[in-house]
Amino acid sequence: MSFLSTLNSSEKIARTKYSSESNYRSPLSTRYASEDMLYNWSDLKKFSTWRKLWIILAKNELALGQPITQEQIQEMVENIYNIDFTMAAEEERIVRHDVMAHVHTFAKACPKAAPIIHLGATSCFVGDNTDLIILRDGFEIILPKLARCVDRLSKFALANKDLAVLGFTHLQPAQLTTMGKRATLWIQDLLLDERNISRARSDLRFRGVKGTTGTQASFLTLFAGDHEKVKELDKLVTKDSGFEKSYGVTGQTYSRRVDVDVLNALAGLGASCHKICTDIRLLANFKELEEPFEKSQIGSSAMAYKRNPMRSERVCSLSRHLTTLTTNAYATASTQWLERTLDDSANRRITLSEAFLTADAILQTLQNIFEGLVPYPSIIRRRIEYELPFMATENIIMSMVQKGGDRQECHEQIRVLSHQAAKSVKEEGKDNDLVDRIRKTEYFSPIWSELDHLLDPKSFVGRAPEQVVEFITEEVEPILVKYKGQLDGEVELKI
């Protein structure tokens, strides 16, 4: 027996003592996601929505002439949240059918309404329609949080629109930009996500009342062959459930292709956030930008000096998970046979909820990061001074030509001095002294007095500051107007 086995000897007693606390719980629910999103995917939300749909169905069947009483409907209304979860679980264990288990449970709480609960409906009436309501409500939690991230990052961009920084292409030094302009690149991606998620939200329709294989046969029988009443029932139930339209045709379920669009919109957000937080992590390594770091926060259990960008790392980690979930949606949509198969059910229970919980956790963390980003201008300036002399050589050549110099001769002089300075930097680890070499070379004496101006970082950023203002005014503000009254509130992370 191993020593570990010996240590495990009291495990059974501990598991009994701690009961459910010792069992696995998703980190999304225990560590990351918000209470609003957790409730949106909770059993209480799900099963109370089933009951609301049964009420809406009965209400409109009554309006269209079915022998249902207002007393029966009122009894159901009074018991929406009176859910005996223990009974429902036992019923499901017996009948192996979650919807019928809850029909029986609801019927026990509503004996007068029992005969008309689920009248004419199939399981997907409550199952799929509830899923669509939860997806819609999930988007409505996500979108204001995304808008708050855009709002916070826009404020950061405006505050740093003039802060010149070294730009990078291929992660190699390139022309200068500004901290604010770089932030607008991040914002632009988030605006694309706002567009795509808003579109996915708007594109959602209701399944409505379609029957077992989507033909509405049961409802046609219920209304004695009256097609118009069946069509009207579909419209009334859809409207009462908060949707403008239902899908024109369905099988037993709404098309699982819809889930692909939902997951793609969220996965795009994951890609954007991963890119943004990767940039922040790189800049943290350069010591140019840091995410919030609390006074008592520990960066490393061994290296006490470390200030790891753990929030950005968390966003990257969760974003990778979010982007992979689209694979499930594609696989499920492509393998539904004919009017439907049940091999979608277990997968969707996991994939859809995790996608929204993950997106929610990402945005919570991202807002917290954006509310506490700290740039370090001194470090930024030092990095610029290290690279700028090489970038300024063209300006120096042009200035010499304006003073009467020969362009080709000036180019050769600069080339020789640049190579000398580069060798000093690379082989001897010294600072870039190209400017000092120029100041000591008599050939360049006509422009010595202009060197400081020629090396001013502000002259290398082009229209970056103006672009920031124009972008925020023209692109960001019109979007944020949609979320007026929803942008307040800071995020305090649980961990």
What are the residues facing 169 on neighbouring strands?
172
Q: How far apart are CA 26 and CA 189, in angstroms?
A: 29
Catalytic, 97? Answer no
- Note if 241 is an active site residue: no
Q: Give the count of alpha carbons within 13 A of 50, CB side only.
A: 26
H or E element in which residue 77 lies: helix 70-78
**What would the two tokens of residue 329 be?**
């949606």
* Sequence-ordered list of residues with C-beta below 8 angstroms from that of 177, at least 6 positions apart, any chain: 164, 165, 167, 461, 464
Ordered alpha helix ranges (H), 335-392: 345-370, 377-391
- 204 vs 53: CA distance, rounded Å: 17
Q: How far apart are CA 19 and CA 172, in angstroms?
A: 55
Q: Which one from 2, 20, 170, 296 is the annotated catalytic residue?
A: 170
Residue 92 is inside which H or E element, if any?
Answer: helix 85-95
- Burial of 3: CB neighbours in 10 Å, binned 0-12, 13-18, 19+: exposed
Tell which residue, 275, 358, 365, has the closest CA to residue 311.
365
Number of other residues whose CB lies within 10 A of the CB of residue 56: 19
Q: Choosing from 10, 22, 202, 300, which is the catalytic residue?
A: 300
| CA torsion angle 398 399 402 405 (round to 10) | -80
Match 């990095």 to its residue by tokens: 383
Name which of 121, 120, 102 is nearest 46 in CA terms: 102
Asked whether the beta carbons of 432 and 439 are under 8 A apart, the reply is no
Reduced to 3 states, what is the DSSP secondary structure of residue 374?
Answer: strand
Rounded CA separation 257/243 (Å)? 19
Element (H, E) at 124: helix 123-159
From residue 171, alpha-carbon distances to 166, 273, 279, 369, 430 in Å are: 11, 19, 11, 23, 22
- Closest among 150, 190, 191, 153 to 319, alpha carbons compared: 190
Residue 2's H or E segment, with its range, is none
- Per residue in 36-55, is it b (16+ CB within 10 Å) or e — as a string? ebbebbeeebbbbbbbbbbb
d(CA 310, CA 295): 14
CB within 8 A of 314, min separation 6: which ones?
32, 365
Tokens of 445: 């004496």
Catalytic residues: 170, 300
